[in-house]
Amino acid sequence: MSEILVADRLSKHFGGLIAVNKVNFSIMADEVTGIIGPNGSGKTTLFNLISGFFPPTEGRITFFDNEITHIPPYERVIKGIVRTFQLVSVFNSMTVWENLVLSSIRFKEKHVSLRKFFFSSAKDKEIKENCLRALKLVGLQSNAQALTSELSYGSKRMLEIGIALSLNPKLLLLDEPLAGLSDGEISEVIDLLKQIKKNFTLVIIEHKISKIINLVDRLCVMNEGSFICEGNPDDALCNPVVRECYWGKREIS
Ligand SMILES: Nc1ncnc2c1ncn2[C@@H]1O[C@H](COP(=O)(O)OP(=O)(O)O)[C@@H](O)[C@H]1O
Ligand SMILES: [Mg+2]
């Protein structure tokens, strides 16, 4: 298995706060990596650095051996790094179909006028097929013309993942994809992730460890901006340092 993304001594400081502290991290092709850690341990900030939303304070990121440390988010999407957000991020005032098509067009061409979006590119055969494939994968075909604001939170989450998939990511970063969902919706998202893991390289930040334990090949644990453990999920969870950071030191009487 080869490394597709390598982060080298990656750090992010917010004033005096060190959110990510000299992290060395690599992602293997076709692997599913889980990232867990207490609230505020730096998981989302790490995604913001990889996806280009924040510039790092120090360190370097390479993707398929090309340095991407300072390139903007949309160029990273074109290169294949696509992410979803902890709070679902879709356009509520558009239909499901428009959300999908808009993203595809935005990342296909650098400059798109609104006129082109509605009258020309929306008819592009390749974009249409791509969006249709993504729509089917996330099970929202019957909602294609529905206004996004009318969808349940679970369906919006599915749409957000669908949009990400329609961009044909080489690396898909999912920030707490199960957050805010009911048990039924969680099962649907897990089934989808099990299905797509065959074709995509995934990194999943998640609090509900038990839900993703059977999905991930490798588990990384963050605490206070650093990786304190990474490896086989069962071993990582049994690691005394990890147990201490979640449950505290055991009193010895
Ligand atoms: N934009 C920001 N400005 C200032 N501090 C931030 C910002 N984003 C995150 N932080 C801080 O960085 C730390 C890590 O946050 P975050 O990466 O969101 O943690 P996690 O996703 O693991 O819960 C927290 O202390 C948080 O308050
Ligand atoms: Mg977070």
Token pair belonging to 118: 């509605």
142 lines ligand 1 (CB under 6 A): no
**pLDDT of res. 253:** 45
Q: Alpha-carbon distance 131 to 225, whole Å?
A: 37
CA nearest to 222, candidates 247, 205, 240: 205
Ligand 1 atom closest to the CA of 47, numbered from 1:
17
Ligand 1 atom closest to the CA of 48, numbered from 1:
17
Report the SS3 class of residue 28: strand
> Domain 1-80+169-253: which topology?
Rossmann fold (3.40.50)
Greater confidence (125 vs 132) lies with 132
Tell me the per-residue pLDDT of 38-72, one tens digit each, with 9 for 90 and over: 999 999 999 999 999 999 999 999 999 999 999 99
Separation in Å, CA 167 to CA 43, 84, 111: 23, 12, 17
25-29, 112-116, 192-196: which range is least confident on average? Answer: 112-116
Task: Report residue 245's pLDDT band, with 50, 70 and 90 as the boundaries.
Answer: confident
Bridge partner list, 63? 5, 66
203 CA distance to ligand 1 centroid (A)? 19
Instruction: Report yes or no: 22 and 9 within 8 Å, Cβ to Cβ.
Output: yes
19 lines ligand 1 (CB under 6 A): yes
41 lines ligand 1 (CB under 6 A): yes
Does pLDDT of 240 surpass 70? yes
Instruction: Report yes or no: 122 and 209 within 8 Å, Cβ to Cβ.
Output: no
Q: Read off the amino acid at residue 62.
A: T
Task: Report residue 208's pLDDT band, with 50, 70 and 90 as the boundaries.
Answer: confident
Does pLDDT of 24 surpass 80? yes
Upper half-sphere CA count for residue 99 (Cβ side, 13 Å) = 30
Ligand 1 atom closest to the CA of 20, numbered from 1:
14
Neighbours of 168 (CB within 10 A): 16
Does pLDDT of 204 surpass 60? yes
Ligand 1 atom closest to the CA of 38, numbered from 1:
22
Summary mean pLDDT of the chain: 91
Taking the CA of 43 as reference, the closest ligand is 1
Q: Alpha-carbon distance 69 to 10, whole Å?
A: 10
Boundaries of every domain in the chain: 1-80+169-253, 91-168
Q: Alpha-carbon distance 84 to 132, whole Å?
A: 19
Answering whether pTM is above 0.75, one says yes
Taking the CA of 21 as reference, the closest ligand is 1
The angle, 0 to 180 degrees and rounded to 10, between the axes of the packed helices 125-137 and 183-196 is 130
Residue of the CA atom closest to atom 4 of ligand 1: 14
Bridge partner list, 219? 34, 231
Tell me the per-residue pLDDT of 217-227, one tens digit each, with 9 for 90 and over: 999 999 999 99
Tell me the per-residue pLDDT of 68-122, one tens digit each, with 9 for 90 and over: 999 999 999 999 999 999 888 899 999 999 999 988 887 765 555 665 555 555 5
**pLDDT of res. 118:** 57
